[in-house]
Amino acid sequence: MFIPERVDEVLKSVTRSMVMAKPLVVAADSWILVDGAHRLEALKRLGARYAPAVIIDYNSDEVKLLGWVRSYSYSSEALNELRRLAAISKRRNRHDGSVMIWLEGLDSYYDIKKFESLGFTLRGVSTSTRSLAGLIVIPPPPTKDLVVRAAMSGELLPPKATRHITAAKNIILPTSLRRIIHDGREWPW
């Protein structure tokens, strides 16, 4: 899944520079896209038939998986809808008027997806609750198994559900759009 506004930003950047600077990061054994959903969608919209990619061993201990804390505009309607959809393990009111909600179970990622599909827009994500305000939702830490099952089933997680930590995300591999967007004519090289 991707955030349309972020795809638009990527599209503007790559069409201005005519270069895709960072490759996608893909798991070797399952071909799961680990990083680069917005870049991949931008390439699809440009008609690319190829994408630069780095292949990793997803099961390696060197690939870490973390989650994001999510923030939404607070309203009683939003809180009630979240209560209806998801199992809540804990609630805490903050002094600034924000409400922090801890969700229970890995299926809560799909509850978040339903919540967002009802028009409750993700305002921000962070690694901690300190920088967020409003309705702050803390899902349980995601697992690699959850990511693999989601990708294999086609029932994708919501945007910004996972944060993969791997050295492969730091690779810069500038690739000309002319090399990956093929219009049927002779290749330019």
- Mean pLDDT of the region 15-38: 93
Whole-model pTM: value is 0.82
When pLDDT is cut at 50, 70 and 90, the band that residue 125 belongs to is very high
Q: Can you tell me whether residue 169 is helix, strand or coil?
A: helix
> What is the token pair recorded at 114?
């339903």
Q: Which amino acid is at 67?
A: G
Whether 188 has a pLDDT exceeding 60, the answer reads no
Residue type, 25: V
Phi-psi region of 94 (alpha: psi -120 to 50; beta: other; left: phi over 0): beta
> What does residue 10 show for φ and ψ, rounded to 5 degrees?
-65, -45
Mean pLDDT along residues 128-139? 96
Question: What is the phi-psi region of residue 106: left when phi exceeds 0, alpha when psi lies from -120 to 50, beta otherwise?
Answer: alpha
Tokens of residue 54, six digits: 């780095």
Residue 6 has pLDDT above 60, yes or no: yes
Residue 73 tokens, joined: 């505009």
pLDDT at 56 over 60: yes
Measured distance CA(62)–CA(134) in Å, rounded: 34
Tell me what pLDDT residue 3 has.
81
User: Which of 9-13, 21-25, 139-143, 157-161 has the weakest average pLDDT?
Assistant: 157-161
pLDDT of residue 183: 60
**Rounded distance, CA 158 to CA 114, Å?**
9
Average pLDDT, integer, range 130-158: 93
Domains of the chain: 1-59+166-189 (3.90.1530.10), 65-145 (3.30.70)
Q: What integer best gives the mean pLDDT of the chain?
A: 92
Pair 19, 176: CB distance under 8 Å: yes
Residues β-bridged to residue 164:
65
- Per residue in 96-123, pLDDT (tens digit) is 999 999 999 999 999 999 999 999 999 9
What is the pLDDT confidence band of residue 27, given thresholds at 50, 70 and 90?
A: very high
- pLDDT at residue 189 greater than cutoff 50: no
Q: Read off the pLDDT of each residue in 10-18 and give the average, rounded to a whole number.
A: 94
